[in-house]
Structure 1
Amino acid sequence: MSDPVLSVRNLTVDLPKGMERKHAVQDISFDLPRGEILCVIGESGSGKSVTANALMGLLPPLMHVSSGEILFQGQNLLKLDEPALRKLRGRVVSMIFQDPLSALNPLMTVGDQVTEVMAAHGEGTTETRSARALELLTEVGLPDPALMLHQYPFRLSGGQRQRVMIAMALALEPDILIADEPTTALDVTTQAQILDLIQQIQRKKGMSVLFITHDFGVVSEIADRVIVMEKGHMVEQGVADTVFATPQHPYTKRLIAAVPRLREADRPSASSGGDGTSESVLVVEDLNLVYRSGGGWFSRLREVKAVQDASFTLRRGRTLGVVGESGSGKTSLGRLLIKLLDSDSGRILYRGQDIASMKESDFRALRPKIQMIFQDPFASLNPRSTIGHIVTVGPIAQGMRKADARAKALRNLEKVGLDAGAFGRYPHEFSGGQRQRVGIARALMFDPDVLVADEAVSALDVSIQAQILELLDKIQRETQVAMFFITHDLRVASQICDELLVMQKGQIVEAGPPSQIFYAPKDAYTRELVAAIPGADHALQQA
């Protein structure tokens, strides 16, 4: 290992009183090698982000460092006051945050936000800062950088916003770059591009990178060395290849085992008719949706074909997955199926009835039979309502007696792995995986024929992902519900889907069983998606 650029010694960060444990991180020590990428991996609550925030001096007021040292060039950063730390941020150590939309100012252009970093440190003149911003946007691979300078964050895709964050972090050419889950919410091709970009920049500039993630697949793509954290403790560290080949700690072994892998054989059928196929529940024929904007006095009409001539069949007890990059039309298609959006043309036949052409008043009686599990389990649950109210309010509104709704809610909560005590608690008292279980319990209250799962596991740790996927599989086998599963992670799709649709720019470019899609793809775009799967080679070797 080369000389460390940063050393952490016996760091302990205390949590507020009344929390489930006393320390966010306890007595951890490690070195960040010069010019290398060190990955810190662990589940939510393991202390990864707390460690990063402690390095940056960005811990929230309720947390404080009770012991330890963070040494940079012989200087203990924990002894510095706020003005001294502010001088180091950006110039010595910079950070890329997990959610670029929340981290970027929605009221400032991209160019202004990049130049603000330099201006805050008194770097250059207005002209040189603007020139540097253009150079940085070019370096991170943004299309038409001169135009991007004047764009606002909401006009950019997730991958483009993350590239802006990287440009801001590089503005002052820091010695250390901290990347906190920078690819978690991105589709596989964009994720591959961002990982490649970070590696290129790290090698070109000789920076040290502290990369935080929960996905060992990502680690296998980028890491030189690895630290594994569990509940605030560092349980293993070493060279990445060694940790992969011979993990020592049981927790490390569990994390590696939880990484979703491509199945070589298709998923066994849960239900079939006499001819070997399941009963059709939903038949989609030539469905189209066009988003239109502008067209006023001073703007040109802009049209985006979100869904183009989509046709497929969703069968009882089977899961149809749809994969593709952000903007491919996956979520729009899912929203058409549950009539949160109205189609421009085409048919959606639910048990022989065309619901696409139905008015909302006519469809209302059928709505309970087509339910949705949302991507963000916290945003989709009312923080002011108890779990009991969240799960029962829909059925009660549909005419179910309160006593019956309560009894059914308790049965469903037990079915998804939550005890009866959850009924009277609030969403903030649960972890992300538990909140997603609540969302599933809510959807099951109507005994639906169709479940639309929109990125239902993308925000979860890989080990929690595995639990939720297992739960969905169990529920499907018990209830024979048909599932439309939207995901950007092809590894997840391989685990749970019986058939797959591949979407690109609103079109279904390929359809078939997972074995065909992953091992004999016909379309060039499908081959590109499969090639971008993080850790694909390692995953296939271990499958």
Structure 2
Amino acid sequence: MTSAPQPSASEDVALAVRDLTVSLPAGMERAYAVENVSFELKRGQILCIIGESGSGKSVTANAIMGLLPRSIRVSSGAIRLEGMDLVGLSSDKLRDLRGRVVSMIFQDPLSALNPLMTVGAQIEEVMAAHGVGTPKSRRSRAMELLTEVGLPDPPLMYHQYPFRLSGGQRQRVMIAMALALEPAILIADEPTTALDVTTQAQILQLIRDIQRRKGMSVMFITHDFGVVAEIADSVVVMEKGHCVEQGSAEQVLKSPSHLYTRRLIAAVPHLTGKDRVPAEAAATSSVLKVECLVKTYRSGSALFGRQRIVPAVNGVSFDLSPGRTLGVVGESGSGKSSLGRLLIKLLDSDSGSILFEGRDVARLSEAEFRPLRPKIQMIFQDPFASLNPRSTVGQILTVGPIAHGVSRKEAREQARELLAHVGLDAGTFDRYPHEFSGGQRQRIGIARALMFKPKLLIADEAVSALDVSIQAQILKLLDQIQRETGVSMIFITHDLRVASQICDEIAVMHRGQVVEHGPPSQIFLNPKSAYTRELVAAIPGEQQSSSRAVGSQSTLAGHSHK
């Protein structure tokens, strides 16, 4: 294990964490969320903290912000900021520091945003809470921030509620709120996890630009070594609550000293242009045939000329054979998730047909479609919102199959087997969703979808919240299940590296339309659309060169991150 950093001159250090230990409640799989963790964030630099889900990254960030839940507490150590020790500081003093001196971008934007307040009001509230500006200047600043983080039509976005935005758009609102007062220290907890590659590149560039312009210090929590290669000055690697390695980004990426770090780097997915070898010859009949599917969102009032019309899905058509996987990729707001919800009838289409095993389910009523629901399952993008907080994991997994006639004993046995398959321990069964990290909750969602042994599995960003090593395990698991059961999959993702590894066909969506459709070898090695070429070029951590074969292994260490 790398030794703790030696104390630096105080004027060079924005934030110093010394021997931080955070205790967990009795009965958990380990006694401490983090134990004897020490590191320094230098002024004007970007420190990346990387590790698997449950390694203690987010707990460390919440300890710094004074936002730990009551069930866990700092038992020892110090967190020094501007000459103060934040451990034991009063709530009033911590509240004064938040947003003004140190600000945080949270991992889960849906639960962090107030559903009853408009986007503009929430950004302005940050400034109003610290008595900054006038109502007019705060509104102007909010508009400026909405533009800066790349949200479309800022005057309209200003008046929108969070539920009207896509996952990526909500994350950008969170970033705008965190940057409202341009704090000295920014803690970013997986801020680009929910974003597509082009928006991710924009946000990383935005954070870099502000950091350089204002001399801001950034603590960037991520599970993606591609992001580390793009943005980090220094790196701290965490495993199961311990700091196992730290040093400059170049040192950690080029010459990792710890086995765990080497394993994480080896698990980073790379873009491949190889076509997937199917388990067997595809059947001639389609399990799913979509023809000219259309869904348009309307908001505002047509009477007063302020109606907004957004064609979320505009004439989409494709065929999916049994045992095959279609990847749907594109930017946030391109219509990927809307398409998934139409296929499972969580949204009603305006026109077009969805033929599932020869039957047009688009025209079926809810009562007529209900018997088919076990055959079509979905892994949702947001595991926090899709899991019942009042039910244990065991109840969440078994309630559906039991309602469809499976015995309680059989359902419980199957649930325990699936939890083990997705990398969760036996104690998971009797715990509640809030007791798990974001990545662990996503694995629970995957296990729930597989409980029904479906014919069609729709995975909406199923691995976006997972660290790279668990991503690899889940992708391997989905591939194994598909080859064993013949289940067909619609794999919706913004990560082209993941799509290239698991999909037989790729459909690239842009503004509700499929702009390109073909095998991975075409999409990633010889894209026909300029939009597809832009997506491939924006992948973090991949060397961008017109002479490079996309299927070759890119060298993270060789990528300039400055």
The TM-score, its normalising length taken from structure 1, stands at: 0.87
**Which of 240, 247, 258 does residue 249 from structure 1 map onto?**
258
Q: Relative to structure 1, is the Cα distance of residues 396 and 98 closer, same or farther in structure 2, using a 3 angstrom cutoff?
A: closer
What letter corresponds to residue 227 of structure 1 in structure 2? V
Larger CA deviation: 38-47 vs 403-412 = 403-412
Q: Quick one: distance in 2 between partners of 1:422 and 1:161?
A: 30
Q: CA deviation at 1:190?
A: 1.7
1:258 aligned partner: 267
Q: Give the 3-state SS of the residue equivalent to 1:537 in structure 2.
A: coil
Where does residue 500 of structure 2 map in the other structure? 494
Task: Tell me which of 462, 468, 491 is aligned to 1:462.
Answer: 468
Corresponding residue SS for 1:264: coil
Instruction: Report if aligned partners of 2:14, 2:41 keep a CA contact under 8 Å in 1.
Output: yes
Aligned residue for 1:251, secondary structure, equals helix
Shifted more, 408-417 versus 277-286: the winner is 408-417
Looking at structure 1, the residues matched to 433 and 223 of structure 2 have their Cα atoms a distance apart, in angstroms, of: 23
Q: Kindly indicate whether the alpha-carbon contact (under 8 Å) linking 1:272 and 1:279 is maintained by their aligned counterparts in 2.
A: no
From the superposition, tell whether residues 470 and 246 of structure 1 become closer, same or farther in structure 2 (CA, over 3 Å): same
Is 1:451–2:457 an aligned residue pair?
yes
Distance in 2, Cα, partners of 1:438 & 1:167:
31
Q: 3-state DSSP class of the match of 2:363?
A: coil
- Residue matched to 1:59: 68
Amino acid paired to 1:182: P
Q: 5+ unaligned residues in a row in structure 1: which ranges? A: none
- Quote the Cα distance in structure 1 between the aligned partners of 2:466 and 2:281: 32
Whether 1:272 and 2:278 are equivalent positions in the alignment is no
Which residue of structure 2 lines up, in the alignment, with residue 328 of structure 1?
A: 334
Which residue of structure 2 lines up, in the alignment, with residue 529 of structure 1?
535
Deviation of 1:210 (Å) = 0.8
In 2, are the aligned partners of 1:271 and 1:278 still within 8 Å (CA)? no
In the TM superposition, residue 150 of structure 1 has moved relative to its aligned partner by 4.9
Task: Please say if 1:117 is aligned against 2:126.
Answer: yes
Q: Deviations over 1:471-529 (max 9, x none)?
A: 11001111122211111211111111011111111111100111211121111111121
Q: Which moved more, 1:329-338 or 1:118-127?
A: 118-127
Amino acid aligned to 2:262: K
Specify the alignment match of 2:523 in structure 1: 517
Letter in 2 for 1:192: A
Q: Is 1:321–1:484's contact at 8 Å kept on the other side of the alignment?
A: yes
1:189 to 190, 198, 201: 198
Aligned to 1:475: 481
Distance 2:207 2:319 in 1: 41
**Distance of 1:264 and 1:371 partners within structure 2:** 29
Which of the residues 345, 364, 367 maps onto 2:351? 345
Shift of 1:343: 2.9
Specify the code of the residue in structure 2 equivalent to 1:519.
Answer: L
Q: Does 1:41 align with 2:54?
A: no
Distance 1:420 1:139 in 2: 46
Larger deviation, residues 5-14 vs 177-186: 5-14
Q: How many percent identity over aligned positions?
A: 72
Q: 1:225 aligns with which of 231, 234, 237?
A: 234
Residue in 1 that maps onto 2:325: 319
- Change over 3 Å in CA distance of 1:404–1:105 after alignment to 2: closer
Match for residue 506 of structure 1 among 507, 512, 515: 512
Comparing 445-454 with 244-253, greater Cα deviation is found at 445-454
Amino acid at match of 1:97: F
Contact 2:442 2:466 in 1 (8 A): no
Tell me if the contact between 2:16 and 2:41 (Cα under 8 Å) persists in the aligned partners: yes
- Superposed CA offset, 1:385-411 (max 9, x none): 565654454445445566766676677
Q: Pick from 68, 87, 95 the counterpart of residue 86 of structure 1.
A: 95
Q: Partners in 2 of 1:54 and 1:388 — Cα distance?
A: 30
Instruction: Write the distance in 2 (CA, Å) between the matches of 1:79 and 1:441.
Output: 40
Find the aligned partners of 1:405 and 1:113 in 2 and give their Cα distance.
44
Q: Distance in 1 between matches of 2:485 and 2:123?
A: 52
For residues 133 and 414 of structure 1, the distance between their equivalents in structure 2, rounded to whole angstroms, comes to 46
Name the aligned partner's letter for residue 112 of structure 2.
A
Corresponding residue number in structure 1 for 2:554:
541
CA distance in 2, matches of 1:120, 1:429: 31
Q: Is the 8 A contact 1:220 1:240 kept in 2?
A: yes
Is 1:203 equivalent to 2:212 in the alignment?
yes
Residues 501 and 508, structure 1, Cα contact 8 Å, conserved in 2: yes
Quick check: 1:50–1:59 contact (8 Å CA) kept in 2?
Answer: yes
Alignment deviations for residues 257-306 of structure 1 (CA, whole Å, 9 cap, x no partner): 22222123222221105xxx765322222222333455676576654322
Residue of structure 2 equivalent to 1:356: 362
Answer with 476-485 or 393-402: which moved more: 393-402
Q: Distance in 2 between matches of 1:496 and 1:105?
A: 36
Is the 8 Å Cα contact of residues 433 and 468 (structure 1) preserved in structure 2? no
Question: Where do 5+ consecutive residues of structure 2 fail to align?
Answer: 1-7, 545-551, 557-562
Structure 1 residues 116 and 380: alpha-carbon distance in aligned structure 2, compared to 1, 3 A threshold:
closer
Residue 4 of structure 2: aligned partner: none
Q: Counterpart amino acid of 1:351?
A: E
Structure 1 residue identity aligned to 2:485: T
Within 2, Cα distance between the matches of 1:414 and 1:6?
Answer: 39
Residue 7 (str. 1) matches residue 20 (str. 2) = no
